[in-house]
Structures are given as C-alpha cells and as structure tokens.
C-alpha cells in the first residue's frame, strides 16, 4: 500500500510545520534569553534557527544576533565554564560553533546564585505558558468562542471513572448538571472548566430535581484523574450526524450530515454515545440503522471497519468499530469582555496542560499506548490540516503546542529544563552542585532516552504515513 495523503498540499504542510515549531521553540528561547540578560548571565549568541549562521548577523554589546540556516526554532548560547567541555561539544555544533571570545567569570552561568539560575532555566517554560495564555486571550477577545449549550449528562463510563468519583456510577441517567462547587453550569464548556479547575481539591455536583449534591474526592492537581472524570461523562448529544468522512462506511452507505439515527439493530438510540457503543461493538459485523432525513425514514446496512484504538482503562490497544462520523453539535457563539477573555484563556491553558499531564501519565503507566506518540511528520500533518481550516484554529493549535512544549520540558529528564531544575534542586539540598562527571553521565542517559523516544515517534509517523 502506498503512502496516504493527509493534510492537503505538501508545501502548506511544510510551511505550517515550520511556523508552528519555529514560533513555539523561538518563544521558549526568548524566555531563556530575557532571563539571562536580566540576571547578568553573559549571552554569547542568540539565534533564530539552528546550525551554521547565515550572513544575516550583527553584534550588539557582547551578544551576537544571527539567523541560522535551519529554521526550526532557535537557541541561546550562554557563557558557561563548561563551554568547551566534551559534554557540550555536540550541542555547540548544532549551535554554530563555540564562542569567539571568553566572558569574564562573573558573567558565567555557574557563578550566579542558585535563585538566578533557577529563573534562567524556568524562564523558557514560563514564556511558553504565557505565550499560549496570551494567544488564547487574544482569540477570545477577537473571535469569541463557540459554546456547547448541553448541560445534560447522558451516561457515565463507570470503568473510566477515577476511584474518587465512583458515586456517579450509582446514579440514573440522563440528568442535568446545574452547579459544580456552587458555580452555575450553563454549558458543557462550563462543566469542563469546573471539572478541570486545578485550584479545587474536590468536586460537589448538583443535579436538577435532586437536592443532595454528589461529593467527589478527586483532587485538582496533578489533574490526570480530573481528565479521566471528564472523559467518563458523556454529553446528551442527539444521535445526529455532523461530519461524515468521505470514503468511510457511513458515507459509502449513503449517510450525510444532518441524518438522525433512530435505532441500530432494532435498539432505540437516545443519545450519541448509544450509537458509539453499538458501532464500536460491531467491528467487521453488519449493523442495520434506522435513519430519519427530513420527513423521510429509511434503513441502511453498513459494516464498521475494525480499527485499533487506545484502551484508556486496561492500557495498550483495543479493536473497535468505526464508520467515519462525528456528532452534530448546535453551538452558540459567545463574545467576551476583557475579564471574560482572561478567564477563558486561563481555563483553556489549564485544560490543555491537564490533557498533556494525562497523556504523559498514561504513557508511563501503560494506559496509553506508545503507538500514540507523534513526531515531526505527525506534527506537520496536523499543522497543515489545521492551517487549511483557518487562522483562528491555526493560532489555537500553536497555543496548544506551546503548552505541550512547556509541560514536556518540565519532565525530570537530564538535558530538558525539568532535569536541569532537578540538578539545581539537588544543589540546594546538598549545599553544593553535583559533580560535573555525574551530571555528564546523567545527561548522556537523558540524551539516550530522548533519542529513543524520538526514534519511536518517528517510527510511528512512518507507520501512520504508510497505513501501518
């Protein structure tokens, strides 16, 4: 089988990937650069891009500003007593070579107090988070948002529910959520915000026609259990088709957007999740659907394709049926004031961070398959697809990727910012830094781990590209 074409024109996909990766990595490095300048750390070179420098370069003070040939992001080369060590030699090759002249000892990174070094290392992550938050706030002010008015929970996935939320499995559904922690719930977006709120240590859900709130012992941080809870709550969307993918079983059977599926194999369907359950359970088997289109009723026979999907409960993969459809959601447009945009940006940034933490925890515990990892090809494909939709979703994707980079950089892996912060924490506890030899060995382990992860992600990209 030849490669599958996704995401439209190749040039658009490449350009979108360069913009997404370039902007987000550049923003990260700007954070390190500004913090280094503010704390008196000498900055040898600030580059847009990697590799050898182009003729576009100039010097201001002791810092050289350059544009390098490989346009993916950039780097900040800081003055360091380890500048010429074997530990940094390979990195310096990527960064256009070593410094042209030494900096005085008082400007070297290692000479600065512990707090200043923590600020410099953490600044990249903080800049990514602030950049994403600013993008979300700007999008909320400029475009507003589309809000799902649903407040009715059709059902809950009792297996997905975290331990502290099992009380929800004892209730009957559907039921309407009216308040969470005394905050009024007027849309599914409100429900998501309340569930993912990291500042709350527990949740109290109030339902219509039920005077007794349901208390859930699900902490807001680190947030993985809150994400599981949100995934377990199924909104009461009608089983009406919104998106119908060309060439998939639903489209081949003649179904179109707007069709209302009344029953499947004689079983009446009330909500979208009812349809999903039937389809997923019939991988490779014929399903007969009763459909209403305007004033006409008809039946169709289709065979859901068997596809591999993530098993969030048992871990690994599972085979489920798919027909290539999505629900029709009647959303309302919401405009924001400045305070409203600030709240919406904060909600979205926290929600994104929670999803990344959930995914990382799933990879570590095995509940998310390593096959879900995506590398540069996958990022490029997604970037191209989103860019074709429009500017607003493309900017939102950049914000999401910036949050992603911020969270992943905090992982306690040597050579990442999280690992370097861990070294500084150890120095603060011990009263002296770890030996250079130990840091070098740990960094080599970190590099090996990152290379293995990148190779796995790239392998997944190639398998997806060729239908594997």
Closest by Cα among 36, 20, 31, 73 to 51: 73
Average of per-residue pLDDT across 237-253: 91
Write out the DSSP string of 312-365: TTT-SEEEEEE-SEEE----EEE---HHHHHHHHHHHHHHHHHHHHHHHHHHHH
Segment of 65-69, 361-365, 408-412 carrying the highest mean pLDDT: 408-412
Handedness of CA 326, 328, 329, 335 (dihedral sign): positive
CB distance 419 to 142 below 8 Å: no
Give me the residue spans of the domains in the chain: 10-39+112-140+395-465, 145-234+329-334, 241-326
Span 411-439, pLDDT tens digits:
999 889 999 999 999 999 999 999 889 98
What distance, in Å, lies between the first and last C-alpha atoms of the chain? 9
pLDDT range class, residue 18, cuts 50, 70, 90: confident
**CATH 2.30.30 correct for 145-234+329-334:** no
pTM of structure: 0.72
pLDDT for the residue numbered 9: 66
DSSP string, 297-312: EEEEEE-PEEEEEE-T
Same fold, 145-234+329-334 and 241-326: yes
Quick check: 131 pLDDT over 50?
A: yes
pLDDT at 387: 86
pLDDT value at residue 222 = 61
Would the CA dihedral through 363, 273, 275, 281 be positive or negative? positive
pLDDT at 410 over 70: yes
CATH number of 241-326: 3.40.50.300, 3.30.70.1380, 3.30.70.120, 2.30.42.10? 2.30.42.10
User: Using 50, 70 and 90 to split pLDDT, how confident is the model at 314?
Assistant: low
**CB atoms < 10 A from the CB of 302, how many?**
22
Residues 340-390: tens digit of each pLDDT: 999 889 988 988 888 888 788 777 877 667 777 888 888 888 888 888 878
């Amino acid at each position: 089988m030849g490669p599958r074409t996704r995401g439209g024109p190749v040039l658009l996909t490449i350009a979108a990937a360069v913009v997404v990766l370039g902007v987000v990595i550049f923003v990260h490095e700007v954070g390190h650069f500004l913090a280094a300048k503010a704390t008196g750390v000498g900055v040898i070179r600030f580059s847009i891009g990697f590799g050898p420098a182009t003729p576009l370069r100039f010097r201001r003070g002791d810092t050289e500003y350059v544009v390098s040939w490989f346009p993916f992001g950039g780097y900040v080369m800081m003055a360091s007593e380890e500048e010429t060590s074997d530990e940094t030699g390979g990195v310096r090759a990527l960064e256009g070579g070593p410094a042209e002249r030494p900096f005085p000892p008082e400007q070297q990174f290692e000479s600065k107090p512990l707090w200043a070094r923590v600020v410099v290392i953490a600044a990249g992550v903080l800049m990514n988070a602030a950049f994403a938050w600013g993008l979300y706030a700007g999008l909320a002010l400029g475009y507003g948002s589309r809000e799902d008015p649903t407040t009715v929970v059709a059902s809950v996935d009792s297996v997905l529910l975290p331990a502290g939320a099992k009380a929800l499995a004892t209730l009957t559904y559907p039921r309407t959520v009216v308040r969470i922690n005394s905050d009024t719930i007027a849309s599914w977006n409100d429900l998501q915000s309340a569930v993912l709120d990291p500042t709350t240590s527990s949740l109290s859900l109030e339902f219509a026609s039920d005077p007794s709130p349901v208390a859930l012992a699900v902490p807001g941080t680190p947030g993985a259990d809150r994400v599981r809870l949100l995934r377990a709550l199924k909104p009461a969307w009608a089983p009406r088709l919104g998106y119908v993918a060309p060439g998939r079983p639903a489209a081949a059977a003649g179904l179109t957007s707007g069709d209302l599926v009344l029953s499947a194999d004689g079983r009446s369907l009330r909500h979208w999740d009812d349809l999903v359950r039937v389809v997923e359970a019939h991988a490779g088997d014929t399903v007969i659907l009763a459909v209403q289109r305007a004033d006409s009723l008809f039946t169709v026979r289709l065979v859901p394709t068997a596809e591999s999907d993530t098993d969030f409960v048992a871990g690994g993969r599972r085979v489920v049926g798919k027909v290539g459809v999505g629900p029709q959601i009647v959303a309302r447009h919401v405009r924001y004031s400045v305070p409203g945009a600030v709240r919406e940006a904060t909600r979205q940034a926290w929600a994104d961070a929670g999803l990344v933490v959930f995914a990382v925890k799933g990879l570590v515990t095995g509940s998310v398959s390593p096959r879900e990892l995506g590398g540069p090809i996958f990022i490029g494909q997604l970037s191209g697809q989103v860019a074709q939709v429009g500017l607003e979703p493309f900017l939102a994707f950049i914000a999401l990727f910036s949050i992603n980079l911020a969270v992943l950089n905090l992982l306690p892996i040597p050579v990442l910012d999280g690992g370097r912060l861990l070294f500084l924490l150890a120095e603060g506890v011990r009263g002296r830094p770890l030996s250079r030899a130990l840091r070098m060995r740990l960094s080599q382990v970190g590099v090996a781990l990152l290379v293995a992860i990148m190779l796995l992600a790239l392998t997944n990209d190639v398998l997806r590209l060729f239908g594997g």
